[in-house]
Amino acid sequence: MVYEVNSRTQDPVFCQLQKHINELQAQLAKAQSEVTMQLQQANLAAMLCMEMAQSTSPQPNPQQPMDILIANSNPGLMEDNNNFGSLWEPLGA
């Protein structure tokens, strides 16, 4: 049995076949990881589409939360384009 193993490992045809098997296994592993990544991307896209479809009310602009709060609490404060010139009087007047 040991003789058979030694003779197979030294056989050029066996070595070429073993090399080919290793290359095919590496290709298979790469293809499996690519498929997994594509499935994850597809699942993420589907989840995003579902979330977008479910959100029916418009969301406030997160860049201007104070403006929204001020405008909702006292609309007269926003009339001065946030300069607040009418709210401040010069010192010493």
Per-residue pLDDT tens digits for 31-60: 999 999 999 999 999 999 988 888 865 555
Nearest to 18 by CA among 28, 5, 9: 9
Please give the model's pTM, rounded to 2 decimal places. 0.46
In-domain check, residue 83 = no
> Residue 5 corresponds to which tokens in the numbers above?
């193993």
- Domain hosting residue 29, numbered range: 2-57
In-domain check, residue 7 = yes
User: Which of the pair, 82 or 7, is modelled with greater confidence?
Assistant: 7
4-8, 16-20, 86-90: which is most confident: 16-20
In-domain check, residue 68 = no
Torsion sign (Cα): 13, 18, 24, 27? negative
In-domain check, residue 13 = yes
